[in-house]
Amino acid sequence: MQPNTTRPAAFDAAIQRYMPGLRNLARKYADKYRYRYGAAELLQNTLVTILASWHTFRGTSYETGGGFYKWISWRMRGVCSNEMRIRESAVYKFA
C-alpha cells in the first residue's frame, strides 16, 4: 500500500496563516543564536523542512489549538540547532 503523498490544502493554508509568527521567531532565533545565514535563510530552511516532513505532523488539526504552531516552531528550533551543532563541530575540528 502506497503512503499518501498529497499534502492537504489545509496544511498549506495553515503555514500561510502562521507566516508572520514564523518570521518573528526566525528573527528571534537568528539574533539569539547568531544564526550565520540570517533570519530569512532560517525561515526558508525551516519551510523546506516543514514541507518535506508534512506527513509527520501528529496533532489534532491545523487550526489554533491543534498543536500545529508548536510543531512548526520546534522544526525551526531543530533547523537552528543543527546549524549550531555543525558550526561548533567545525570550530573544534579546526581549532
Mention every residue, 6+ apart, whose C-beta is less than 8 A from residue 68: 14, 18, 57, 59, 61, 62
What are the pLDDT digits (tens) for 27-59? 998 888 777 678 899 999 999 999 999 988 887
Instruction: Evaluate whether 62 touches 10 at the Cβ level (below 8 Å).
Output: yes
Amino acid 74 reads W
pTM > 0.85: no
CA distances from 29 to 15, 18, 71 (A): 19, 16, 16
pLDDT at 8 over 80: yes
Higher per-residue pLDDT: 48 or 82: 48
